[in-house]
Amino acid sequence: MSNLFSLRGIAFSALFAALVVVFGYVSIPLGFTPVPITLQTLAVMLAGGLLGARYGFFSMMIIVVLTALGLPLLQGKGGLAVLLGPTGGYVVMWPFAATLIGYAVSKVRNGGWLATTVIFLAMECFGSLLLYVTGVPWLAQTLGFTMQKALAAGFYPYLLGDAIKAVAATFITISLRQVFPQERLTGRNHYNVQQQQQSNYK
């Protein structure tokens, strides 16, 4: 475990998991669909962008596992029934979305418009569009919708909001990375230094 994760990284992973829970309470229900508008996907994007692939995955997996175990983390609800319900297809994709965002953002080294564009595309494609790959078919399956009806209920109404969240996540990530780089949040540099020192004594 210590070879894969640092205490600092675990702590910040838990913090971003908590951010998902808090953002879930910023919810706007839509009468024609069980899928509310929330800020949760913004937290998923930020977890990947700031924590990186490994800890981004870990932070979102905390939500999935604890929800499955019954903790009321998603708008005050928990249990397998939540993950197997109409919105479960979106939630189970969160760890993979954060992983892909983290991987893509870690490859961006320089600033400027090109870096901003790459980060935005990662946020939009992995933090938004990817979620619908599992979310919409699962919504159709659980509610007995046709695919067209599922798209109308669980995809089209959210695209503009997702784009706005992707823009916000992009600029928040770029700004915070200058002050809190991934290595500082996860403690990876400290761990690597310790490993190097230990190897020098062998």
Using the structure block, give the residue that is written with the tokens 């070879």: 3
Q: Which of 193, 174, 179, 198 is nearest to 6 (CA)?
A: 193
The single-letter code of the amino acid at 61 is M
Contact between 135 and 153 under an 8 Å Cβ cutoff? The reply is no
Output the pLDDT for position 71.
Answer: 97
Give the Cα separation of 198 and 188 in Å (integer): 15
What global pTM score does this model have? 0.89
Domain boundaries, the chain: 7-200
Output the pLDDT for position 188.
Answer: 63
DSSP 77: B
- The second-level CATH assignment, the architecture, of 7-200 is Orthogonal Bundle (1.10)
Q: How does pLDDT run along the chain (202 residues), one tens digit per residue? A: 446 789 999 999 999 999 999 999 999 999 999 999 999 999 999 999 999 999 999 999 999 999 999 999 999 999 999 999 999 999 999 999 999 999 999 999 777 899 999 999 999 999 999 999 999 999 999 999 999 999 999 999 999 999 999 999 999 999 998 888 888 888 865 444 344 434 443 4
* Alpha-carbon distances, residue 121 vs 45, 54, 101, 172 (angstroms): 11, 20, 9, 15
Contact between 161 and 35 under an 8 Å Cβ cutoff? The reply is no
Output the pLDDT for position 198.
Answer: 42
Enter the tokens of residue 122: 């990662």
